[in-house]
A and B are shown apart, each in its own frame.
Chain A
């Protein structure tokens, strides 16, 4: 029986789907841990990012943070946290939250920084205070980039959580790690496919959500500029070439 058939057989076994270590329970754990990590990262990062973006500072700090976390292997952070006494899902949430910070930070700061200075001046001119201008003018205009950052961060977290199975966290990655331990490659393959599928589904859903959350006015604007760009290909894309929309573990694909 080939490995692929074994994987199919594993996936077809109802016993593998139900129960405490079943696919459904693990998926739920996976999603909960990911959500907590993203929420934690957002709660810590967003106020700071909004403030930095409003004051038009911090772009450089964002780059430094992003590069450092990219070089820091996820496994290192997970083993460090686990070894210092934080086993299981607490360590996972903390470690993944760390890796969700850079996309949130850079995208929010950049998004707010890209708001047209004339628009800000106009907001001031009609008598808005700094906070009011931030909430009523700058944030709505920056929503597309902020949403993109949230999406990148979430996908990255969902892709990083499986690694935590190595240090005892419960997620879909547990299936893969357990399969390697048992040398049951059908199970390994099945787990890998499940993890990949979850990531792609989350990515797709968030892309949809990003589209919906963009204010309609900006949506048509974005479409116009993007079609114009592809037609003449004369505009200059940024040379930084960050994977803007996706990226499982920017350092990567879950480093």
Chain B
């Protein structure tokens, strides 16, 4: 692309990384902790929400509809709407991240639960499973591939989204990108970008690996 046009300003520099390792580590730590925290909170909220929508099918349409509309709202606008009330800093970013991850997760868990083979459900009911037990010990395990796919999607999305937090002064690696842009220092932008991509890849691989471990029966297809 257009990277080659800037001779005096290297796109990659070990010197920068060595001299600023503490700074980079701080941004990275902020990025990782925000991502993990947001996805964990969203997951804890999404499971009961999706289960509720699944048990009361009448709620499923509105839940998915609201999630779809909320998902349309750009992150910058969401942070802008939140910031006056929750202030500048971690809380605002976290709320924004949790809500987006929540939308992705709820949707995927619900789709997974609804996708359970009706024959399996019938068999469990025939064996005398109640509604709650059916959900916990039959439907949820069956929905695991979809849940894992949702977790991967939500995590990768969140890693990328954290950077937008820079508008409220708390953007993890995004802070480095923006500072690099402000001072026109290419190495800083590039380092942060590469770290972001690696982080997303790492999370994705870890979750996919855990998912494979949890669902030994579904080695045939790997969604997403």
**Segment of B14-22, B36-44, B184-192 engaged in the interface with chain A:** B184-192
Q: Is the CB of A255 within 8 A of B80?
A: no
**Interface of A: prevailing SS:** helix
In the complex, are the beta carbons of A196 and B149 less than 8 A apart? no
A233 to B2, CA, bound (A): 51
CB closest chain-A residue, reference B81: A192
Q: Is the CB of A255 within 8 A of B160?
A: yes
- Most chain A CB within a 10 A radius of its CB, from B74, B84, B224: B74
Known: A70-B156, A251-B157. A162 touches B76 (CB 8 A): yes
- A219-255 contacts to B, CB under 8 A, are 230, 233-234, 236-243, 245-255
Which of chain A's residues 182-196 have a Cβ closer than 8 Å to chain B?
Answer: 185-186, 188-189, 191-193, 195-196
Q: Which residues of A contact B5 (CB under 8 A)?
A: 84-85
- Check A63/B224 contact, CB under 8 A, given A196-B74, A203-B72: yes
Other-chain contact of B73, A76, A176, A196, A242 (Cβ < 8 Å):
A196
Q: C-beta contact mask, B162-206 vs A, less than 8 Å → 1, else 0? A: 111011100100100110110010100110110011001100100
Are B193 and A245 within 8 A (Cβ)? no
Contacts of A176 in B (CB 8 A): 76-77, 80, 167
Instruction: Given A63-B224, A76-B163, decide whether A252 and B100 contact each other with a Cβ distance below 8 A.
Output: yes
Q: Which of A75, A163, A179 has its CB near the most chain B CB atoms (within 10 A)?
A: A75
Q: Closest CB of chain A to B204's CB: distance in Å?
A: 8
**A131 sits at the interface (CB 8 A):** no
Contacting pair A3 B85 (CB below 8 A): yes
User: In the complex, what distance in Å separates the CA atom of A188 from the CA atom of B146?
Assistant: 37
CB B173 to nearest CB in A, in angstroms, measures 8
Residue numbers in B under 8 Å from A245 (CB-CB): 68
- Size of the chain A interface, CB-CB below 8 angstroms: 67
Q: Give the shortest distance, in Å, between B58 (CB) and chain A (any CB).
A: 11
Q: Is the CB of B73 within 8 A of A200?
A: yes
How many residues from B make CB contacts under 8 Å with A? Answer: 68
In the bound complex, do residue A241 and residue B193 qualify as a contact, i.e. CB atoms below 8 Å apart? no
CA of A94 to CA of B162, assembled, Å = 22
B161 pairs with A251, CB closer than 8 A: yes
Q: In this assembly, does B6 line the interface, its C-beta being within 8 Å of a C-beta of chain A?
A: yes
Asked if A155 is at the interface (CB within 8 A of a chain B CB), the reply is yes
Q: Which residue of B lies closest to A179 (CB)?
A: B80
Q: Does A122 contact B (CB under 8 A)?
A: no
A75 touches B166 (CB 8 A): yes
When the two chains form their complex, are residues A236 and B223 in contact, meaning their CB atoms are under 8 A apart? no
Interface residues of A (CB under 8 A from B): 3, 7, 63, 67, 70-76, 79-86, 155, 158-160, 162-163, 165-167, 173, 176-177, 179-180, 185-186, 188-189, 191-193, 195-196, 199-200, 203, 230, 233-234, 236-243, 245-255
Between A and B, 11 residue pairs with Cβ closer than 8 Å are A79-B189, A81-B2, A83-B186, A85-B6, A162-B76, A176-B80, A179-B80, A191-B80, A192-B77, A199-B73, A241-B107
Residues of B within 8 A of A (CB): 1-3, 5-6, 57, 61, 68-69, 71-81, 83-85, 100, 104, 107-108, 111-112, 114-115, 117-118, 145-146, 149-150, 153, 156-157, 159-164, 166-168, 171, 174, 177-178, 180-181, 184, 186, 189-190, 192-193, 196-197, 200-201, 204, 223-224
For the complex of A and B, list the 9 residue pairs with the smallest distance between their C-beta atoms, beginning with the closest. A192-B80, A255-B160, A71-B200, A159-B74, A185-B84, A3-B84, A195-B77, A76-B193, A79-B181
Given A72-B160, A75-B177, A241-B150, list of 15 further CB < 8 A pairs? A67-B224, A76-B177, A82-B181, A163-B76, A185-B84, A189-B84, A239-B112, A240-B223, A241-B146, A245-B68, A248-B74, A249-B75, A251-B161, A253-B73, A254-B161
